[in-house]
Amino acid sequence: MNQDLFITGTDTGVGKTLLSALLVAALQRKYWKPIQTGACEGTDQQAVMKWADVPEDRTCPEAYIFNPPLSPHLAAEEKGIEIDFERIRRPSSSSPLIIEGAGGLLVPINSKQLMLDLTIHLNVPIVIASRTTLGTINHTLLTLAAARNARVDIRGVVMIGHESSENRRSIERYGNVPVIGSIPWLDHIDGSTLVSVFKQYFDARGFE
């Protein structure tokens, strides 16, 4: 288990940060969120530190951070700048990284580039976080299609929420992709809980 992973999602608020925290805790990796928006409401770095029970030195600083809860390109425009990929370089770390994107793969980052382009720029495989609820099949298949069209390495899908075996089977069948983990509804989140979820609900082979 020695390779960086990029956590993307089928939508905003799907559970990317929770999945990132789980993988940081279970795989003993560092966390990095290259582009953070909505910092006025708290950062995902702070959430990962709390949920995974890790100190700040198990995380890396953002390349860009914006207060408004907006798409990266809009948050940058509001600040009068444009996000430049040349400023987004992998942090110097011997530990593999869990890298969390902002929103889904087709979220704009600047006037020409999308979050999908950032995964290509960083040259890392992706794990897709998806909901278990109605609509997830369509959203997940669209995300898979976008990634495959760009020849991005897809490790698999992690479904988040109350179990839906039919949706899981449909995603695996029509998406031709393994569901390599699931996160059930959690009443309490801490590092030990997340490690237990990984051991019980994840296929560790998908993260090797």
pTM of the model: 0.96
Structural domains of the chain, ranges and CATH numbers in brackets: 5-207 (3.40.50.300)
Q: Give the C-alpha separation, 52 to 31, whole Å.
A: 10
CB contact at 8 A, 197 and 190: no
pLDDT at 107 over 70: yes
Q: Which of 87, 133, 92, 85 lies closest to 110 in space, CA to CA?
A: 85
Q: Which residues pair with 36 in a beta bridge?
A: 65
**79 carries an active-site annotation:** no
Give me the pLDDT at residue 105, please: 98
Task: List, in order, residues 6 or more apart from 134 with CB less than 8 Å away.
Answer: none
Mean pLDDT of the chain: 96
CB contact at 8 A, 7 and 98: yes
- pLDDT, mean of residues 16-31: 97
Catalytic residue among 33, 50, 112, 199: 33
CB contact at 8 A, 124 and 3: yes
